[in-house]
Amino acid sequence: MKLSAILLARTLAFVEIYDLDPRGKLFAPDFIRTVAERYKFQRLPKPEEREKEGIIFEEGKFGGKVIVKLTIYDAMIKLETRSNTADSKQLIEEMLAWGAAKFDLHYSPGSIKRFAYISDLTFHSDVPLLDAACQPLIDLAARTSAALSEMWQEPVQYYPSNLAVGHDPMARKNGIAPFSIAHRVEARYSENKYFSEAPLPTDTHIAFLEEFEAGIKRLHEQRGI
């Protein structure tokens, strides 16, 4: 597996914003201005967005790390980079520690009890990952190809195009993204270029993809492909 690009590294920190400022001492305009200056944000929150979409900052930078987007909700802080979810998490923690010193926010290490992640990336593989994942699926693609070729009177080739694992959305209150792998849009299937999204830290996401690729290679070897 060869990483092509990290498209999104999102970290979500679940924390009550009101708990950070329990007595309402924080003056929002001062906070927004100071955050914008420190993190060099090019797009600042708009008053009409705050209730529906949260407090949104875009295109910032701090300590060599580029911030794509920061959104502050009532019960969550979401920060996106294109480098690694570890960077996104570190930036959130650094920002809150700074806010505690600068604005007397009620924050200390460990205040955030739960983090969540979304990782989007593209990569190349040495093998056609989806073609060997499931023999019945391959057979379905072949039968579909034959039927459509006859219908259209021209060669039409179908292949497995994506796969995903996910949880039962009825089994929990809030949904979690599936782990998915699909052929990359605008790339020929023969290029073995893929897009993948996972609700995992970036490094874990990459490690799981490498393990999956290794499993597919073993299948190829067993089938003598």
Q: Is the pLDDT of residue 48 over 80?
A: no
Give ∠ CA 190-5-192 in degrees, rounded to 5.
10
What is the model's pLDDT at position 218?
87
Map residue 8 onto helix, strand or coil.
Answer: strand
Average pLDDT over residues 25-54: 87
Single-letter residue type at 203: D
pLDDT band per the 50, 70, 90 thresholds, residue 49? low
Domains of the chain, by residue range, sit at: 9-117, 125-223
Cβ atoms of residues 39 and 57 within 8 Å = yes
Residue entry with tokens 């259209």: 152
Give ∠ CA 167-171-177 in degrees, rounded to 5.
35
What is the model's pLDDT at position 143?
96
**pLDDT tens per residue across span 96-132:** 999 999 999 999 888 898 999 999 999 999 988 887 7
Beta carbons within 10 angstroms of residue 85's beta carbon: 27
Helix axes 85-103, 202-223, angle to 10 degrees: 170
Map residue 166 onto helix, strand or coil.
Answer: coil
Which positions ≥6 away from 94 have C-beta within 8 Å? Answer: 62, 63
Selected residue with higher pLDDT from 70 and 172:
70
Distance of alpha carbon 9 from alpha carbon 31, whole angstroms:
25
pLDDT band per the 50, 70, 90 thresholds, residue 50? low
